A and B are shown apart, each in its own frame.
Chain A
Amino acid sequence: MDSKGNSEKKKDLTCVGKSVRRVDGWPKVLGKAKYTADHSFEGMLFAAVKRADFPHARIKSIDVEGAQLPGVEAIMLEEDIPGNPRFGALNPHQPVIISDIVRYLGDGIALVAAKSEKIAREAAKRIVVSYEELPGLFDPREARKSELSIHPEGNEIVHHVLRKGEVSEGFAAADVVLERDYQTQFQEHAYLEPEAAVAVPQPDGGITVYGSMQHPFSTRRVVARVLGLPLAKVRVIQGELGGGFGGKDESSSIVCARAALLALKTGKPVKLVNTREESFVESYKRHPYYLHYKVGAKKDGTLTAMEIEIVADGGAYASMSTFVTWRSVVQATGPYTVPNVKTDVYAYHTNNTYTGAFRGFGSPQIVYASESLMDELAAELKISPAEIRKKNFYQQGGETATGQTLKHVVSLEPALDAVLAELNKKPLEQNANPVFSRGRGFACSYRGVALGAEGVDATGAVVNLLEDGSAIVSTGVAENGQGLRTVFSQIVSEELGIPLEKIVFLDCDTSSIADGGPSVASRCTIMGGNAVRHACLQLKERLNLSEQPDLQKAIKATLNAGKSLYAFGWHNAPKVSWDEHTGQGDAYFTYVYACQGVEVEVNNQTGETKVLRAVAAHDVGMALNPQQVELQIYGGVTMGAGYGLTEEVILEKGVTKNPNFNGYHIPDSRMIGEIVPIIIENPDAAGPFGAKTIGEPTCELLAPAIANAILQATGARVRTIPATPARVLHAMQKEGAPA
């Protein structure tokens, strides 16, 4: 279906599909929105953490004597933890605080609560730990071979395989075989609000935790486990979230658990806020990948085989590595039909900062590599980058690398065409100053929606319709700043015919709604939106709106009949499948498609690269709120520019060399000249009103587009990101590019 057909359909909708204003903007512009660190309670104490002094060491003793300053109310070590001191989604081996072996510099050793933050920090500084230093591993490729084991269970976290056809035959049939290595970096989420928690002990022995987190339910699980309390006695309330991008899961759970431990011990409210430096050192990052690609193709560009080996740095703890790298194994070939594929993705432990979920979730790395590769192959075959892609694009009815048949509309070609048309609207004009060279490049991707065969995928929502026709909505997936409150309110408004002003969205509170799974994998709109819709449909039936279209009258009649107007909707994702031995199966229930293009200007003397213009075309199924979709595109494209050009956490032997924004450069307001969003709509049966997703695919494409554009501008190929000025200049010198 084309976008025209949709807009016809959209005309019947009153609220969905419209760019209504955010429902939660008001308190934010007033400065009244309450982020976690803004909470304050009578008699509240402040906490600080004593962290490891070595990236890998055995603790011999911990001396807290010198830390007993006036004003200090509690000092806790691992032995003081009432419950289980370790947690982890898959492998519960991550310590809240630790007393035997530290495995990275973010590990906590002792917790302090004091009357002021200053005293708490001073006391933590005075805790003396003596260690026996252990040799460390700082490169996953070394960890792969090393005798040395960071955890008793070994260094390998996971090894995913995908086998399709027979690659040796594919390569034999090829006219050209190309092998390339690519490398990606540690990327920090750099949400502007550092992690924070305030824990308040309750009279019944339970605890309430306000926290800056994306997934209140996983925080609840960790806090309950560590405190040794039943889940029901732990109430977790999400504070206004100052950004997450996948980064506020374990990183936040640990902060909440620490505050909760001290609160239970002292019987007083405790606030714990990470400094930016602590956030950099402690919180997990995007996985650095080392990627080796071998590709075979016919002269006309038809792909015959791909063999891919990827080694990921999992850092000190397992966290989400298994899931993140699983998405990589599914999508590693890019959106291209390849008859013979052999992919191996490994993740290993090192003594670096651990790595986990980050917007894109295992895709930005492989999209960077595979889309750079496609351009390299095109150059080798002397055909255009667009032609080689079109030749091999997945098609509706075609089969993916995992053997899944794509039954929905596959919009790769329209996305590519739309980007090229916009990008090449004007011919490329060189800067009159010969120091600068300009070039254009683009990249394409496909992306599985929601969790896929990674895990159980279901979520719930409550719609509580009140007698005056107003409604309270709450969902099991949490607002992450991306505008869920708005979109879900729009769905309720659409279904029940009540104005947005009469809808109140409750912040996620674990004690009042069922666990809805994490706000990750861009699953919120499609999963939560469906759950909201289910709840609304139940209400519509009870209200009998088809017979009695006047809502007010219907409400009255329903209530008089003794029926409730409180509905709980639950949505289960459609079935998916996976064979872990072959990497074959229906990995995700649906996919989205996208293309981004870019024009850059490179300074030939210094290697500095500017993004003059970016164009992003995304198939979102259906845009429930076009403005919000565009905002996601702007934000994701910009984050992708940072990934491609400036952002890199520099770890030297486990030490973070740039733990604040003076050394870690997220894009500023001048980094990109212009961003042109293009929304493509092909409603999907699986989504509410046909909507799919937008949050994550937006940030996985700009880095390869930039790398491809730099090549066009300078003739130099950057195979390691970010493409810092030094790397670009170095690549230019190697290729003997224009001076």
Chain B
Amino acid sequence: MEATRQAIEFFLNGKPRQMEVSPHSTVLELLRGPLALPGTKEGCAEGDCGACTVVIGEKKKKNESENIFSYRAVTSCLMLAPQLDGKHLLTIEGLAEGEHLHPIQQAILDDHATQCGFCTPGVVMSLLALFLDNPQPSQEDLLAALEGNLCRCTGYVAIKSAGEHLRTDWLLEKIKAKDLRPAYLEEVEKILGAEKEKKVLSIREGEKSFHAPRTAAQLRHLLSISDSKLLNGGTDITVAIKKHGAPIRNLIDLTSIEGMSEVRIGCEEVVIGGAATLRKVAREVEGVLPVLSEAIGKMASHQVRTLGTLAGNLANASPISDTAPLLLALGAVLHLEGPDGSRKVPLSEFYRGYKQIDLGKEEWISEIRLPLSGEKFHHFEKVSKRRALDIATVNGAISLTLDDRRILAAKVAFGGVAAVPFLAEKTSASLLGREWNLETVEFASTVALEEMRPIGDVRGSSTYRKDLIEGILIKHFLACVEEKGWEQ
């Protein structure tokens, strides 16, 4: 393979940095350690509290000649430091100019939105990303931007009102872009925009390594010469390494591969690249498959969805993944690339057993394809203790082709009821030809309870899970009634 680089090159609060980093270290470790910037806090080190939120700026190709820059809030405890390469890292230390507070910092002060202050840097950075990313944030966008920042002191009231004041001032242009955008952004965007392709980043330290190929060919080659783990957003892998001591040595990063983060909407299908983030997918499919955007909106938090990918969620093979049941119901097909070319696998055949998937050692998911059909009724339900940042106890999805109320085709899937995301084929079949009404729901429930035998764990007992299977089927039905405006 061609020559490689050991040191990462990135911008930190407007200043260029070049440094060697440990291949499995996180951005948070880098900030609080070698970079000596302790303003970014650690509250959980697993993506659940948002205290470590920072903003990442990066170049996105708009077309051949033009670049655009995107900014997103991410949990720095989940992002690996080598992934900073070529990006702009903004932290709480990079906002104020001397004694002059940034408008967001000022709003937090004015609205009494800081008490102990430990969550404050993360809150500020979440808000910054919102405004840098979204010229017209809605109230809901504001709430979504803040949902990943836990605060134990304030009860969030003051934080939300600070955000709301900023939002209205921003929309009314009382706050100008030049005040909100740190002055150095323009310069950095210019430099990064003009940057030519660099050598592939390849970092080694002892037994550990990190590689960031740019092309499928480079990826194929890397996979053929080493026993490696594919890395996407790292929201599962980083936790596995840091919290569970997973014996992972070589990481191959998919997020720098040309074209792999794209989402294309065709007439008959949606094609989602193997490195497209959850946020990106949710935005792009909103018009054609709103049910998927909604389901993604119920996952994790904003600053985790900006890192995590759809492919990663499927490949991680958690039995309680939120996207898997929906994609099963939607009839998703995976495109896998490997040493011998590519092959297609329906998602329903991808899961083999607990955390077992049909994916060879040298293969990767290059695309996820979802058929489009405007006719169908789709619905997704997730039951959890808390709205954001909570793994479901049970979730479920349905896709129905209806002729008035008669069911012509049905796919029902559940998560949290078996060792793998579960396409309930018998339950689906039981619906065929029937009228879609409460009686049918009841009938389908009895079939479902025959077909699925959930076990109990910390998130819910076996009995409760059974209750939820029934409850979710009823909710599917009622959602349909509401959507179609049927009389009950």
Which A residues contact B (CB, under 8 angstroms)? Answer: 19, 21-22, 24-35, 37-38, 40, 189-194, 240-245, 275-277, 433-435, 480-483, 603, 605-606, 608, 627-628, 631, 633-639, 645-646, 650, 657-658, 660-663, 665-672, 675, 724-726, 729-730, 733
Contact = CB atoms under 8 A, between A and B. Distances in A.
A656 to B, nearest CB: 11
Given A670-B143, A670-B147, A725-B383, A21 B152 contact: no
Contacts of A433: 478, 482
Contacts of A658: 458
B156 A662 contact: no
Given A29-B108, A605-B471, A667-B386, A631 B152 contact: no
A277 B386 CA distance: 20
B76 interface: no
B478 A29 contact: no
Contacts of A240: 116-117
A669 B147 contact: yes
Contacts of A730: 464
A666 B150 CA distance: 8
B155 A638 contact: yes
30 contacts: A22-B112, A22-B114, A26-B109, A30-B93, A30-B95, A31-B39, A31-B93, A33-B117, A35-B38, A191-B116, A192-B51, A192-B118, A193-B116, A242-B116, A276-B46, A433-B478, A631-B154, A631-B157, A634-B158, A639-B152, A646-B385, A660-B44, A661-B43, A661-B44, A666-B150, A668-B147, A668-B156, A671-B387, A725-B393, A729-B467
Nearest to A636: B155
A-B pairs, top 3 by smallest CB distance, nearest first, are: A31-B39, A481-B116, A28-B117
Contacts of B114: 22, 25, 28-29
B305 interface: no
Given A638-B156, A669-B147, A672-B155, A29 B464 contact: no
B49 interface: yes
Contacts of B106: 29
Contacts of B112: 19, 21-22, 25, 627-628, 631
Nearest to A665: B386
B91 interface: yes
Most buried by B among A192, A242, A638: A192
Interface residues of B, number: 75
B240 interface: no
Nearest to A31: B39
Given A192-B51, A605-B474, A729-B464, A668 B150 contact: yes
Interface in B103-162: 105-106, 108-110, 112, 114-121, 124, 143, 146-147, 149-160
B472 interface: yes
A450 to B, nearest CB: 22
B167 interface: no
A28 B48 contact: no
Q: Is the interface of A mostly helix, strand, loop or mixed?
A: loop
Contacts of A668: 147, 150, 156, 386-389
A40 B391 CA distance: 37
A725 B385 contact: yes
A192 B150 contact: yes
B40 interface: yes
Most buried by B among A35, A482, A667, A670: A670
A106 B385 CA distance: 27
Interface string B148-183: 011111111111100000000000000000000000
Interface in B415-458: 458
B290 interface: no
Given A29-B120, A665-B386, A191 B152 contact: yes
Contacts of B470: 605
B36 interface: yes
B475 interface: yes
Contacts of A37: 38, 42
B254 interface: no
B469 to A, nearest CB: 11
A608 B46 contact: no
B96 A606 contact: no
B262 interface: no
A192 B475 contact: no
Contacts of A19: 112
Nearest to A240: B117
B460 interface: yes
A618 B62 CA distance: 56
A628 B114 CA distance: 11
Contacts of B459: 663
